Chain A
Amino acid sequence: MERFVYADNAATTPVSEEVLKAMLPYFREGYGNPSSIYQKGRDAAKAIRLARDKVARGIGAQPEELYFTSGGSEADNWAIKGVVEALAKKGKKHIITTAFEHHAVLHVCQSLRKHGIETTYLEVGPLGVVKAEDVAAAIREDTALVTIMYANNEIGTIQPIAEIGKICREKGILFHTDAVQALGNLEIDVKAQNIDLLSLSGHKIHAQKGVGALYIRKGVRIPNLIEGGGQEGGHRAGTENVPAIVGLGVAVEIATKDIQARADKTRKMRDRLIDEITKLPRTRLNGDREHRLPGNVNVSFEGIEGESLLLMLDLRGVAASSGSACTSGSLDPSHVLLSIGLVHEVAHGSLRLSITHETTEEDIDHILKVLPPVVEQLRAMSPLWENIVKGENR
């Protein structure tokens, strides 16, 4: 049986043993509705309370500032639409964000145009890091919100969140960050970093899919996204997904422990991948080398296309992703890669490998064994590569 290496942790992660163990009792024994008066209900409510404490602690927040959602996308939608709705009547109709946010932020901003909301999409430069001074320069009289992702999901670059938070606090502007990719990889402290709202997601940190949370700093009041029963202190309706929430609590607790040690271990393997892969001809790293998530590798191979690369890797036991149009299902390649200035054909030839501290050196060996021949094979059949080589030999 050939080795299988899962190198797509930025897309999703397996539920860990500890998380699954913590969740299981809540399916057939602890199945009470947390709003119910009897013992089973009270037990479920208590489990949620404990989970809330864990998640809040993981980001330096108070438990009453933490609201469980169905995931990162819901948290992003709620934060942005909520702030905009709250401040529109005060004439604040401007949002500042970046050109390479996740679609759960970008598409919300775009959808708010019909309500007269104008959005500034800040450039992120060739290295994929936004400048704090650009944020400051973009702030206007009518700015309602700054929303900037903590770390980019495709190229892994880390944004100057504390600096941006400081600027926003000084200017009295609310600051939201999508921390879905950052949680567990970087130390997050919402108080020290002056973060007013933060989105997080379970399935990137070994909890199940379909659960996440929105942190809303005490004193910040935004309308609900989901109305109904009085769950989550009347702020997010819907009978609580108890097993998922319990799992999330355990996942955050584990993810925010020993961040440095795990990051160091992961970074070493990441660097080995980057160093070896970029030795291949006409191959480049996408995004800042240093200000980068410990597990993220994103490279472009000139002359080949991403989906065919992924298929070949899959046949050789490596699961990864790409920013090519064929994989995004649209005619354009990834907006993230375009935002750092890649031309279409180079963006089409991109590969993202995302590892964790549980990836092994043997896994890295396997990737490095199968990847170069695949690139070579695809280049040998590419008319684009033929032109590139001919151009060099002129």
Chain B
Amino acid sequence: MTEAPPLHLDEYRAAFAGWLDGHDALVSRQRDFFSLELADVATVQQQFQGELFAGGWVRCGWPEELGGLGGDARHRAALYDELGRRRIPIPESYLTVETLIPMLSVHAPELARAHLTDLLRGAERWCQGFSEPDAGSDLASLRTKAVRDGDDWIVDGHKIWTSQATVSHRCVVLLRTGTPESRHRGLSMMLVDHDTPGVEVREIRTMSGRDELGEVLFDGVRVGGDRLIGNEGDGWALAMYLLQWERGMYPWQRQAGLLGTLDALLERDGDGIDPHALADAYLSVLPMRLSAAHTIRRLAAGETPGPEVSVDKVLLARAELVVFDLVDSVLGGAIELDDDQHAQEWRHDYLFSRSAPIYGGSYEIQRQILADRVLGMPRG
């Protein structure tokens, strides 16, 4: 490995920008590649992840005891920002890394230590099995269950709309270990390998045309006791813990991408855009950038943000829609009526943006959380 990157934040940022400048071919391949097949995307991004790992870039921001090179969430944020600035897609796998690893590093450090470096360099990918056919927004009603069998657990049930499921090697699953009536109290979290007998993964193609989602079916799957994250019954608390990272870092990653999209529009036809609509789009992303930055700084400082971080997700949902509505209007029909690769890419991104008010806790649920838990409104 080459010399480790500097950890001073400004130096890190500058050094990473310099490294990207010197890797034109790698950068253009990431930027120009497009496929509706998730497996192809994963393969191309894996190559990039390997380089980012070898240079030490993605190891910064993670503690040394987990295989990182030190630093904190602000280093990771700087890396994502720089990728967005250059319109390089952030490898999809880093979304789950950002959500799951901070939680694991506190509640199952041995699992984090065993897998972090493989996740960073793209040797393995994970997904997050929360939603079920009958448990979407009402997560506490989930039914996929784990029953003790000696030191092991036997898992049965059905997860659905799981992002990246078809290209993942393992799944962090939220399971019912209590009675069916135990709601959020009787939940536990486990790491399950997709190659365990009894696990079946099926692709689900989304409106965007890509096999973005999947179903994960569990039929008498034996999971070792060492794969329980935290303690039995901790599942809900762990899910809530990781969601605050999902609020902070995912909107941060997306703002980097969305500002890159606005740059692309300016580059394409800067003066032709209605300035009011352009400002509207920018003003939908800017608060999300600054609010997410604030959340990340708090998380990096070891604070536990409260329910007010739901603001980040509400802002994200709106920003995605507003920015891609602007894209659609600037392209003037290409999304609807053209078939070249650019049009296909924009079409995919446009359609994918429509899911922002749904995934990761719906727009309605986030606003209800704000009303109930921040404003103290009476529960219905």
Please say whether chains A and B are actual partners in one complex. Answer: no
Residues of A within 8 A of B (CB): none
Residues of B within 8 A of A (CB): none
